Structure 1
Amino acid sequence: MASHGIVLFAHGARDARWAEPFERLSTRLRALRGPSAGPVSLAFLELMSPDLPTAVAEQAAAGVSIVTVVPVFFGQGGHIRRDLPAILDQCRAANPTVEIRCSTAVGEDDEVIEAIAAYCLRQTSS
């Protein structure tokens, strides 16, 4: 059975605290997947490390045969439409034996929008 890793891909920031929600997300995802599932890692576009090529290479070195990159961006802006495809091409060229998939930005998903809307409603109910 192929090992399937997930890389959560976020923008990055100068302030290390900015990454805290992404770290909580990766921890939660690891717990939901269980110990026998493939790895979950974080990667950043800029200002933080590791970058996406490094995170993919680390998973490939660990024996992962499929990596799904999940852009943890609210929308499909220039970074997702322009920068991410070029970085994915770089990752694929550097790791030809690994199948690298990419989902849409999480903010484009209807369930995510519903969860955010429910959160906003809860803020007005007290």
Structure 2
Amino acid sequence: MTVAHPPLLIVAHGSRDSRSAATVRALAEVVRAHSPGADVRVAFLDLSAPSVGTALSGLYAEGHRHVVAVPLLLGHAYHARVDLPALVDEVTGSLPRLSVTVADVLGPDPLLEDVALDRLAAAGADLDDPDLGVVLAAVGSSHDAANDVVARIARGWDGRRGARVAAAFASTARPDVPAAIARLRAHGARRFAVASWFFAPGLLPDRIAALAAESAPDAVLAAPLGTDPRVATVVLDRYADALTGAAASA
């Protein structure tokens, strides 16, 4: 089967929380709406179905021999650097002539930063308030470079308008949310807001919210990036870049 444009497989982390997979599937609908005729599928690295292997095997059975996998990930941590490439190698090793091009991760990207800031404003945070402390909350990684990206975004936001900004992580990395709030309070913050560097609701964003409530009960909590059309735009940008790279190396 020969097609002009290979399927776009959105690969998300997966979660025991059903809201996460539902958000990913809803985002896929937005991507389809922004690229009529595109063959957009969804797969998960763990915990949700279908798995990457199942999705690729299904596409192969339909006759596809080239697939572009776009990781719905915000940094080059373990899942992007190790997990996904290993899964792809395992599947392609058993399916003759199947080629899978893995696109770059979505973050960091200025469009995604804009979405996160808009989510903050929509939640009621006044970013021009010099007494506001903003926590940019992300998952956290054992890979320091991935955490550094989040910290760099926070530094870029800090003082851009009026609010002070600090990064925090839900797991593995430091500082955690209470430590970030304490740091902001020490620098004069009297009111607090939490920006979400997550794509979807789930267990880790819930942990962030609970920790924020303990340290700053009146903190404003922003929603994840979710199904904003700008997220779909970045997905399609990564897909297009991957196709260009694949063509150049052919």
TM-score grouping bracket, smaller chain normalisation: 0.7 to 0.9
Contact 1:2–1:66 (8 Å) recurs in 2: no
Distance 2:88 2:109 in 1: 21
**Alignment correspondent of 1:32:** 34
Residue by residue over 1:69-110, the C-alpha shift from the partner in whole angstroms, topping out at 9 and shown as x without a partner, is 111111111121111111111122133322210111112334
Aligned-pair distance for 1:122?
A: 5.3
- Letter paired with 1:78: Y
Distance 2:81 2:12 in 1: 14
In the alignment, is residue 109 of structure 1 matched against residue 148 of structure 2?
no
Higher relative contact order (CA 8 A, sep 6+): 1
| CA RMSD in angstroms, aligned pairs only | 2.2
Structure 1's 113 and 94: CA in aligned 2 closer, same or farther, altered over 3 A? farther
- Letter paired with 1:94: S
TM-score of the two chains, using structure 1 as the length reference: 0.82
Contact 1:68–1:100 (8 Å) recurs in 2: yes
Moved over 6 A (4+): none
Distance 1:57 1:13 in 2: 22
Residue by residue over 1:30-62, the C-alpha shift from the partner in whole angstroms, topping out at 9 and shown as x without a partner, is 22222x43x211111111111101111111222
Aligned-pair distance for 1:125?
A: 5.2
- Secondary structure of the equivalent of 1:29? helix
Aligned-pair distance for 1:11?
A: 1.0
**Alignment correspondent of 2:89:** 89
- Letter paired with 2:25: E
Count of aligned positions: 124
Distance 1:92 1:117 in 2: 39
Structure 1's 95 and 112: CA in aligned 2 closer, same or farther, altered over 3 A? farther
Distance 1:120 1:47 in 2: 29
Within-5 A mapping of 1:1-126: 1-34=3-36, 36-37=37-38, 39-121=39-121, 123=123, 124=125
Q: Which has the larger radius of gyration?
A: 2
Q: Which segments of 5 or more consecutive residues in structure 2 lack a partner in the other structure?
A: 128-250
Aligned-pair distance for 1:118?
A: 4.5
Q: Which segments of 5 or more consecutive residues in structure 1 lack a partner in the other structure?
A: none
Distance 2:55 2:7 in 1: 10
Structure 1's 99 and 9: CA in aligned 2 closer, same or farther, altered over 3 A? same
Distance 2:68 2:79 in 1: 18
Distance 1:50 1:72 in 2: 15
